[in-house]
Structure 1
Amino acid sequence: MADKTFTTKGFSSAALHAHNNLHPNSAHTTPIYASSTFVFDTAQQGMERFSGQQEGYVYSRWGNPTFADAERVIEALETYEVKDDNGQPLQVKAILHASGQAAMTTLFMSNLSAGDKMLSHYSLYGGTHELVTKVLKECGIEAIISDMRNADEVEALLKQDPAIKLVHIETPANPTIQCIDIAAISAIAKKYNCIVSVDNTFATPYLQRPFALGADFVFHSTTKFLNGHGTAIGGVLLGKDLDFMKTKATKWHRLIGGSSNPFDAFLLLQGLKTLEIRMDRHCANAKQVAQYLQQHPSVAHVNYNGLPTHPGFAITQKQMSQPGAMVSFELEGGLDAGIKFINKLQMCIRAVSLGSVDTLISHPASMTHYGVGAQERLQYGITDGLIRMSVGIESVEDIIADLEQALEG
């Protein structure tokens, strides 16, 4: 048997080898364990697995070997070069879910109870905004929405309201690419015994590691950049309180029923293998696209945190290794011009979602943020004419050429 003491040092090596798991029949890649249930050797073994006294699988809603390998890889990437308070490699636990919304539900429902409040900011993904302002409200949990770019405002809110138990950050945010200082907000939250969760979907652990900046939980819609190919829905919740993750968070996850499935977990594992090289190309292309759009006479405004004109530029330089692949912009002609532009696209894809290898373009006001009231959208900078672009890994000259022809006239 090969020596397993070798320790990898590179990010891509972790993405390829972090699961370090031997499977039956010497499989090179993690198999798809398409089994709803698992066999016990004895009645005693079954009882011990159900009680948690023995490691092992019981039922795929509770866990599955394909899920476990994906979880191990994401754990390794989110903690890459991150140390705990004692200077040791940080240990976290990940729980794979059927969707980002399922993972977000586990996050909120396992940490909040009726009478509690949570604090977040505007320009959240539309599904998150509706979850916290509508669903949590029905559960007796109030969401306070503030401008979390203002640290003094955050501290004033936490100081005056001890019912706030959780601070949730999405950075860069969807679709305005608004950026929040994770380290600054985490430090304030700790003063008031609040936990901090970070949606790291746009950035990925290759560009930003919230655990190193003070976060308690990290969330991803794995559907996006982690999968990277638009082939599977998924979500993941990671936490550094291992006992909490193995008990209450796991219990809520199982009871809510938001478990992943083996095929989607397998596809996620394939995508994770190329995360680093994909993100480098995504980011390089996005920078050139944003610079092109910024100088185009038909474009009124560009949101891209890699441009010095973006309000989040300094924060991006501080907490991200690269700005990312998401761009949003508004045309001079507003909504009518935006519709005309989208309809004229020939290579870029008209579709919601993001993080796929191909360039995806959508209209947030009528699509991803359809469920957010018009007044709120406008307050948050999500205007009727705003276009969101997930820049893919195509040859950048082709992306720009398609934009150019669609912007003509």
Structure 2
Amino acid sequence: MTTTMRNRWTRRSLTAQAMGEIDPVTKGVVPPLHLSTTYVRDEDNGYSSGFVYGRPDNQTTREAEAVLAMLEDAEAGALLFASGSAAATAVFLALSPGDHVVASRVMYWALRNWLATEGARWGLAVEFVESDDLAALARAVRPGATKLVWIETPSNPLWTITDIAAAADIAHRAGARLAVDSTCASPVHTRPLALGADIVMHSATKVLNGHSDVIAGALCAREDDAFWNAVKTVRKGQGGILGPFESYLLMRGMRTLHVRQERQSASALALAERLAAHPLVARALYPGLPQHPGHDLAARQMENGFGYMLSIQVRGGEAAAIGTAAHVELFKRATSLGGVESLIEHRASIEGPGSPCPVDLLRLSTGLEDVDDLFADLDRALRAGHA
């Protein structure tokens, strides 16, 4: 498909057809899987194909990256990694020891732990703030010293909303870059690069793949600058590229991204509205609810809905919350999110000491099941958990 033709179609159409590429050998509508780890040199000792070895590059991975770069309007392209953690840490490893970093206090727990331990060992000066509080964010940023501001919006698992455009302005005025973990929004709902961010990160394991069968991470960049090239060097040197088979499965998952996200987001909103009125729920946390403190900002910053994730705080405290999770049948008690199956998890017990997550909170990932069945399952479990 030519560039002109691509410009005629929507992201939904281009994603559904994986950019419309046709296999030149078989004319198949599904791109082939390229598994080779090594490539033949030309007679003049060059590599006219552009491929040398499988550790830094692969054709199937390139094709999946092209779909994601299109979804995010990433002028500099996308990079796929072997996990979301590998993608996120590559950004920090591209910094220099002594660099100051500001990060959201409420964020992906494994990355928060890495920043507090391994990031510190690398020599990074990491400061955690409530990134939805723009005044606090501005106070934390040090002009000339802060090199990266890392935010997650909506934040997992409290679903606070950070103003991406305002955060980008704060970072840029201080001479820093803004990176956004947009895993729980997806490109269907938020495109951070269009709002001023420099880098957007996804745990592609989640809704981008959508089938709970691939571990993957992704970075997309607005500018092909020296820092982005440093991130590429980290991936190449550490061998962190996503394998071709996983890239193939990820591309298969992304082809249904829009239809899954629309259905999952509609179900998440319906669940949030009904759970907010449930007598055994103290509070429902979802940016699509008008009473959510970040609702107005989310309505401006997000599109096509408010995402597939929500949390509830259960009346009766920790015991009632864990008891509720113990009695679900349709929901599955499991870590992760974004798959076609709905998941429930008591996050405080997973995150452990130091977690900002309330002990009465249950995180819900909404799948593709019938929403009435999902509510009935939670209603019965809430009542059983309080018995």
Q: State the Cα distance separating 1:281 from its structure 2 match.
A: 0.4
Q: Could you tell me which residue of structure 1 aligns to residue 153 of structure 2?
A: 171
Q: Could you tell me which residue of structure 2 aligns to residue 84 of structure 1?
A: none
1:97 is the counterpart of 2:115:
no
Q: Map of 1:66-77 to 2, 5 A cutoff?
A: 66-77=60-71
Q: Distance in 2 between matches of 1:58 and 1:21?
A: 23
Q: State the Cα distance separating 1:399 from its structure 2 match.
A: 0.5
TM-score by length of 2: 0.94
Q: State the Cα distance separating 1:22 from its structure 2 match.
A: 4.5
Give the gaps of 5 or more residues in structure 2: none
Could you report, residue by residue, the CA deviation over 1:347-370 in whole angstroms, capped at 9, with x for unpaired residues?
111110000011011111122x23
Could you report, residue by residue, the CA deviation over 1:2-28 in whole angstroms, capped at 9, with x for unpaired residues?
877423422211213454445343332
Q: 1:248 to 1:42 in 2, by over 3 A?
A: farther
Q: State the Cα distance separating 1:63 from its structure 2 match.
A: 0.8
Q: Could you tell me which residue of structure 2 aligns to residue 124 of structure 1?
A: 107
1:294 is the counterpart of 2:294:
no
Q: Distance in 1 between matches of 2:335 and 2:2?
A: 46
TM-score by length of 1: 0.89
1:366 is the counterpart of 2:349:
yes
Could you report, residue by residue, the CA deviation over 1:124-157 in whole angstroms, capped at 9, with x for unpaired residues?
1111101211111001101101122222222222
Q: Could you tell me which residue of structure 2 aligns to residue 14 of structure 1?
A: 14
Q: Could you tell me which residue of structure 1 aligns to residue 92 of structure 2?
A: 108
Q: Could you tell me which residue of structure 2 aligns to residue 65 of structure 1?
A: 59
Q: Could you tell me which residue of structure 2 aligns to residue 241 of structure 1?
A: 223
Q: Could you tell me which residue of structure 2 aligns to residue 189 of structure 1?
A: 171
Match among 295, 299, 303 for residue 317 of structure 1? 299
Could you report, residue by residue, the CA deviation over 1:303-326 in whole angstroms, capped at 9, with x for unpaired residues?
111111212112101100121111
Q: State the Cα distance separating 1:184 from its structure 2 match.
A: 0.6
Mapped contact 1:133–1:142 kept (Cα < 8 A): no
Match among 173, 190, 194 for residue 212 of structure 1? 194
Q: State the Cα distance separating 1:43 from its structure 2 match.
A: 5.1
Q: Distance in 1 between matches of 2:342 and 2:237?
A: 37
Q: Distance in 2 between matches of 1:127 and 1:391?
A: 22
Q: 1:247 to 1:189 in 2, by over 3 A?
A: closer
1:263 is the counterpart of 2:245:
yes
Q: 1:21 to 1:248 in 2, by over 3 A?
A: farther
Q: Could you tell me which residue of structure 2 aligns to residue 285 of structure 1?
A: 267
Q: Could you tell me which residue of structure 2 aligns to residue 386 of structure 1?
A: 361
Amino acid at match of 1:77: L
Mapped contact 1:239–1:245 kept (Cα < 8 A): no
Q: Give % identity.
A: 35
Give the gaps of 5 or more residues in structure 1: 47-53, 80-89
Q: Distance in 2 between matches of 1:350 and 1:149?
A: 29
Q: 1:3 to 1:189 in 2, by over 3 A?
A: closer
Amino acid at match of 1:390: S
